[in-house]
Structures are given as structure tokens and as C-alpha cells.
């Protein structure tokens, strides 16, 4: 049966078959073994089953090094394009392990869906505020402790955000659990602390984004096909900046609940300093990654993946930018509209987290842990030299 949009299951079968074919060629070739965890893990397999495909696809960081090194890449008759094949399997893996399962067949994670969901969250929040809050309060100047809560009461802010975040966390946790089972049984007789230590190091250093040492492949400074660490640095900026924003929220929550100090806080307070650093870092990281995507050779990545990726970067950028704008203008009449815009974007981001690009983070951590467990199991069963 031809592969058409009307038969998505055929598309899934084609995607899996093509990725399996490419990986089997790689397993015979082994030229790229030094590049990343994908090849090191692949080497231990004689055949590549569906569970292996899910595992290997989520180990890939799409650094493109293997594509540019490949003697079997197009126009060779073998047409091996491993980064593209694995990116399509990854995208399917987000959909096929989404929670609740009812959503799986209907889920279409596109850039448009992410932007529409985020705009919808902003509009619903704004409409609710227009209906519930007097115009004078909404567009008035507020200052001092509790100023934000005069526009959006604390109970409403915490209640709505809490429900969306709890849903999001539950959906992500259950998706990751389904993905973990989807990778097949974990190896037995493993030292879990050692595997966890390796995984944490992998995550904190993003060492697989080093593409075998020289970095990711891209077009930089007008140079075609340069290898550099720039993508890794922008990923680092994004990762640690998101962590700073979470730290800021946690400190603010402690201030509020332990000491009764209500937001907004002074510019030189810990929550504001952490949040400002985090917001600036998110803007730099997302803008840098978006720029690299724009410049990159489009061949080693599937077009259907790129739209969702760009939209995710855009909404993260807007969440950070609106937060910093709120900080800068909180003493003016723009505070109310900016607060609603920022909260709406953040809610939109959280609502869409379990259904697309963000899943690459927890799925990759799970795949890295599985790879570390395999290495650990291998080193325990290997006879001494």
C-alpha cells in the first residue's frame, strides 16, 4: 500500500523500516563508532528490533556528524541519512508514548499547534480577567507587596498554574514510563548508582553533542560544514537557564510561604536575580538554537520535525521575554496586560510540554540511563583481560 497521509500507520511502518535499514548498514560499516552513544550501543546488537529503534533514536542528539562523514549518504545508492531517519523515529516516539493514550492517534505535534495552544491560553486568561477584574484595576498602577495579586488573585494564579503543571508533570512521567518499557527489558545485574552517575555526567556536560569531540555539524560564520561546539553551548545556556528560573520560582515560593514576603520582590533580591539571569539565558539559548537551525543544511533533518522544534523555541523565548518585560515595567500601567500575557504564555508552554519537542529531554535522559546500564552490565560480564 502506498504511504499516504490517509494511512498514518503505513507512514510509521515506513519510518521504522527505513531507520532499521540505515542502522543495519551502519552496523556493518561501523565507520562512525567514535561519534556518539548511538554507534557504541548499536555495536552490541546483531539485529535492530522496534525497542532498539526507540532506544537508539532517542540517544541521537542530531549533531549530523555521521551524515557528513557517510560514504553511503545520498547520492550513493544506499541513501543513508541516519540523523533524518532517527529524528522521524524520535518524533513518532513522542506521539506513541503520549499520555493519556486516547490522545496518541489524534496527536499532531506541529509548530502551528504549539503556537495556537499558547495564543489560546493567553486569550482565555485575558478574557477571564476582562470579565472578572475592573478595568481600573487591570490597567492601573500597582506597587508594593502583593501588587500582582491585585490583578490576578493568588488563589486563581496558584490554582490554574498548579492544575496545568501537575497535569503536565503527570503526563510527562507516565510518557517516560511507557517509553522506558518500550525500550524493552533493562539489563540485569547492574550497579544502578554507577549508571546514574554516568547519566548525570552525560546530561550535565551534554558530551554527546560533542559529535566525537569536534562538535556538531553546521554552517557557521558563512562557512559551509563547520564543526563547532556552538550548538552545545546554546543547549547548555538553555538547560542551565531553565534550571535558574525553576530555582527563582522555588525561592519565591519559600519567601511567600515561610516568611510571608509577597511578590514583586526588589531588583536585587534572590528570586529576581535568579529569574533575570535565567530569562536572559533562555532568550540567548533559544535565539541561538533557532539561528543555527535556520542556517543548517536542511537535508539531515525531516521537515515535519523542524516546525515543531522552532515553535517550541519561539514560545520559550516569548515566555522569557514577557517575564523580563514584566520585571522592567511592573511599576507602570502595563503591568496588568503584561502579567496576563506572561502567565498565558507560561501556561501554554506547560500545557504543550508533554506532547512534543520537550519530551526529547526526559526521553533522552531515559535512553542515556539505559545506555549507561548496558555499559555497566557489559563491563561486569566481560572476562578480565
Query: Binding to ligand SF4 by residue 31, rule CB under 6 A?
Result: yes
Q: Does 83 bind ligand SF4 (CB under 6 A)?
A: yes
- Options 66, 98, 373, 377; binder of ligand SF4; rule CB under 6 A: 66
CA triplet 287, 353, 286: central angle to 5 degrees? 5
Q: How far is the CB of 358 from ligand SF4 (least distance, A)?
A: 19
Among 12, 69, 174, 203, binds ligand SF4 (CB under 6 A): 69
62 binds ligand SF4 (CB under 6 A): yes
178 contact partners, CB below 8 Å, separation of at least 6? 97, 99
Residue 25 makes contact with ligand SF4 by CB under 6 A? yes
Task: Pick the closer one to ligand SF4 by CB: 63 or 289.
Answer: 63
Cell of 296: 543548517
Q: Phi/psi of residue 219, each to 5°?
A: -110, 115
Question: Interface with ligand SF4 includes 61 (CB under 6 A)?
Answer: yes
Comparison of 43 and 108: residue with beta carbon closer to ligand SF4: 43
Q: Which is nearer to ligand SF4, 25 or 270 (CB)?
A: 25
At its nearest, how many Å lie between ligand SF4 and the CB of residue 32?
3
Q: From 8-16, 57-65, 121-129, 324-332, give the range in contact with ligand SF4 by CB under 6 A.
A: 57-65
Grid cell at residue 344: 498565558
227 contributes a contact to ligand SF4 by CB under 6 A: no
> Residue 244: CA atoms inside 13 Å, Cβ hemisphere, count?
20
Closest Cα partner for 212 from 80, 362, 31? 31
Task: Give the one residue of 2, 71, 131, 155 binding ligand SF4; rule: CB under 6 A.
Answer: 71
The backbone torsions φ and ψ at residue 198, rounded to the nearest 5 degrees and listed phi first, read: -60, -40
C-alpha 276: how far from chain center: 21
Taking the CA atoms of residue 9, residue 11, residue 15 and residue 18 in that order, the dihedral angle to the nearest 10 degrees is 110
Q: CB of residue 78 vs ligand SF4: minimum separation in angstroms?
A: 7
Please state the closest distance from residue 243 (CB atom) to ligand SF4, in A: 23
SS (H, E, C) 290-359: HHHHHHCCCCCCCHHHHHHHHHHHHHHHHHHHHHHHHHHHCCCCCHHHHHHHHHHHHHHHHHHHHHCHHH
80 touches ligand SF4 (CB under 6 A): yes
Among 273, 322, 317, 297, CA closest to 219: 297
**Distance in Å, CB of 61 to ligand SF4, minimum:** 4
The nearer residue to ligand SF4, 23 or 274, going by C-beta atoms, is 23
Q: Cell triple for residue 66?
A: 555521521
Stretch that binds ligand SF4, among 4-12, 64-72, 106-114, 228-236 (CB under 6 A): 64-72
Q: What is the CA radius of gyration of the chain?
A: 23
223: β partners = 220
Copy the grid coordinates of residue 311: 515553535
Q: CA nearest 363: which of 50, 60, 36?
A: 60
Q: In the complex, what is the shortest distance from the CB of residue 106 to ligand SF4, in angstroms, rounded to a whole number?
A: 29
Of 78-86, 114-122, 234-242, 353-361, the window that binds ligand SF4 (rule: CB under 6 A) is 78-86
For the bound state, the minimum distance from the C-beta of residue 204 to ligand SF4, rounded and expressed in Å, comes to 18
Cβ nearer to ligand SF4, comparing 1 with 303: 303
Residue from 15, 16, 32, 335 binding ligand SF4 (CB under 6 A): 32
Q: Do 332 and 141 meet the contact criterion of CB atoms below 8 Å apart?
A: yes
Nearer Cβ to ligand SF4 (86/238): 86
CB within 8 A of 311, min separation 6: which ones? 110, 111, 112, 113, 114, 115
Rounded to whole angstroms, what are the CA distances from 89 to 173, 176, 360?
20, 16, 12
Identify residues 229-288 at the interface with ligand SF4 (CB under 6 A).
none
Is residue 326 close enough to count as binding ligand SF4 by CB under 6 A?
no
Q: Which of residues 185-224 bind ligand SF4 (CB under 6 A)?
A: 208, 211
Three-state secondary structure call for residue 267: coil
Q: Which of 15, 16, 19, 38 binds ligand SF4 (CB under 6 A)?
A: 38
Binding residues for ligand SF4 (CB under 6 A):
25-26, 29-32, 35-36, 38, 60-66, 69-72, 80, 82-83, 208, 211
Amino acid at each position: 500500500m502506498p504511504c499516504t497521509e490517509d494511512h498514518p500507520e503505513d507512514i510509521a511502518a515506513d519510518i521504522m523500516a527505513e531507520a532499521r535499514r540505515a542502522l543495519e548498514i551502519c552496523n556493518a560499516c561501523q565507520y562512525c563508532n567514535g561519534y556518539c552513544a548511538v554507534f557504541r550501543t548499536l555495536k552490541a546488537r546483531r539485529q535492530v528490533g522496534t525497542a532498539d529503534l526507540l532506544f537508539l533514536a532517542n540517544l541521537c542528539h542530531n549533531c549530523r556528524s555521521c551524515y557528513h562523514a557517510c560514504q553511503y549518504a545520498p547520492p550513493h545508492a544506499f541513501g543513508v541519512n541516519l540523523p533524518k531517519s532517527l529524528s522521524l523515529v524520535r518524533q513518532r516516539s513522542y506521539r506513541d508514548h503520549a499520555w493519556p493514550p486516547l490522545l496518541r492517534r489524534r496527536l499532531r505535534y506541529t509548530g502551528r499547534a504549539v503556537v495556537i495552544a499558547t495564543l489560546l491560553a493567553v486569550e482565555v486568561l485575558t478574557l477571564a480577567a476582562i470579565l472578572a477584574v475592573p478595568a481600573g484595576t487591570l490597567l492601573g498602577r500597582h506597587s508594593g507587596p502583593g501588587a500582582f495579586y491585585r490583578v490576578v488573585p493568588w488563589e486563581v494564579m496558584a490554582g490554574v498554574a498548579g492544575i496545568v503543571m501537575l497535569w503536565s508533570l503527570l503526563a510527562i512521567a507516565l510518557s517516560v514510563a511507557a517509553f522506558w518499557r518500550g525500550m524493552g527489558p533493562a539489563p540485569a545485574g547492574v550497579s544502578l548508582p554507577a549508571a546514574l552517575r554516568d547519566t548525570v555526567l552525560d546530561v550535565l556536560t551534554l558530551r554527546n553533542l560533542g559529535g566525537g569531540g569536534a562538535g556538531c555539524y553546521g554552517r557557521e560564520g558563512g562557512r559551509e560544514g563547520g564543526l563547532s561546539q556552538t550548538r552545545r553551548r546554546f543547549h547548555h545556556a538553555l538547560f542551565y537557564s531553565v534550571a535558574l528560573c525553576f530555582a527563582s520560582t522555588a525561592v519565591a515560593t519559600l519567601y511567600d510561604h515561610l516568611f510571608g514576603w509577597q511578590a514583586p520582590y526588589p531588583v536585587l533580591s534572590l528570586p529576581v536575580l535568579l529569574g533575570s539571569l535565567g530569562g536572559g539565558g533562555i532568550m540567548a539559548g533559544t535565539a541561538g538554537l533557532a539561528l543555527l537551525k535556520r542556517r543548517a543544511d536542511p537535508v539531515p533533518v525531516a521537515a515535519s520535525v523542524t516546525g515543531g522544534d522552532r515553535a517550541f523555541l519561539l514560545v520559550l523565548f516569548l515566555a522569557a521575554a514577557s517575564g523580563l518585560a514584566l520585571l522592567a515595567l511592573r511599576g507602570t500601567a502595563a503591568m496588568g496586560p503584561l502579567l496576563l500575557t506572561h502567565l498565558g504564555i507560561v501556561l501554554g508552554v506547560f500545557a504543550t510540554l508533554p506532547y512534543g519537542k520537550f519530551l526529547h529531554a526526559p526521553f533522552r535522559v531515559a535512553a542515556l540511563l539505559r545506555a549507561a546500564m548496558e555499559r555497566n552490565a557489559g563491563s561486569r560480564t566481560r572476562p578480565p583481560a
